[in-house]
Amino acid sequence: MNNVIEMKHPLIQHKISRLRDKNTGTAEFRALVEEIAMLMGYEALKDLPLEDVEVETPIEKCMTPQIAGKNFAIVPILRAGLGMVSGLQPHEYYCKLPSPISERLIVVTDPMLATGGSAVAAVDFIKQHGGKKIKFMAIIAAPEGVERLMEAHPDIQLYVGHIDRELNKDAYICPGLGDAGDRIFGTK
Ligand code: URA
């Protein structure tokens, strides 16, 4: 699939292995998630438009590039909240999108792309509100989730740290890393 970009960078792979380890505690887990998101963002945002601005260095004035205007927005999927509506189809229970949205690059983030249900719902919602340029960033994905998301939204770009083997009957990714929400918030 052309629009699916799996990260090969050794730093990302190394940090994902640390995330997987059940002995990695909450503080380290949270820091690793942030670091991996930053490293993946480096790749996912490499086509962000720049504009030249004037800056005065200690030596002289110069024109130098910075990210142009209000050009992108990050939209995290609040998994813990979605967990409160278990048994229902995922739905948006809290959603605040920046405006205007149609010109922005929207980066949707969810550490785990499992069944793809919440991911498809989030991208549906963003498109219904006028979003056009959409990228999705997941640290670990199941093949089932990748297929479902890309079938529903073949026009988006999906950045994944690693595509794992499969979902189990409880919709956990195998080998995965367990419940990302629990491990980020220390709720188990
Ligand atoms: N969500 C998680 O946090 N982990 C999984 O394995 C699947 C969905």
173 lines ligand 1 (CB under 6 A): yes
Residue 81 has pLDDT above 50, yes or no: no
Residue 92 has pLDDT above 60, yes or no: no
pTM score, two decimals?
0.88
Helices (H), 51-133: 79-83, 117-128
In this prediction, residue 150 has a pLDDT band, given cuts at 50, 70 and 90, of very high
3-state secondary structure 32-74: HHHHHHHHHHHHHCCCCCEEEEEEECCCCEEEEEEECCCCEEE
Ligand 1 midpoint to CA 142 (Å): 9
Least confident of 50-59, 63-72, 151-160, 169-178: 63-72
176 lines ligand 1 (CB under 6 A): yes
Task: Give the model's pLDDT for residue 98.
Answer: 73
Whether 100 contacts 73, CB under 8 Å: no
Task: Give the model's pLDDT for residue 90.
Answer: 47
**How many angstroms separate the CA atoms of 188 and 186, rounded?**
6
Which residue's alpha carbon is at the smallest distance from atom 5 of ligand 1? 172
Q: What is the mean pLDDT of residues 82-105?
A: 59
**How many angstroms separate the CA atoms of 155 and 176, rounded?**
27
In this prediction, residue 73 has a pLDDT band, given cuts at 50, 70 and 90, of confident
Ligand 1 midpoint to CA 34 (Å): 17
Ligand 1 midpoint to CA 173 (Å): 6
Ligand 1 midpoint to CA 129 (Å): 27
Q: What is the mean pLDDT of residues 132-146?
A: 95
Give the range with max mean pLDDT: 20-24, 41-45, 73-77, 119-123: 20-24
Task: Give the model's pLDDT for residue 94.
Answer: 61
- From the centroid of its chain, how far is CA 128? 20
149 lines ligand 1 (CB under 6 A): no
Residue 93 has pLDDT above 80, yes or no: no
In this prediction, residue 83 has a pLDDT band, given cuts at 50, 70 and 90, of very low
Q: Tokens at residue 34, please? A: 């942030």
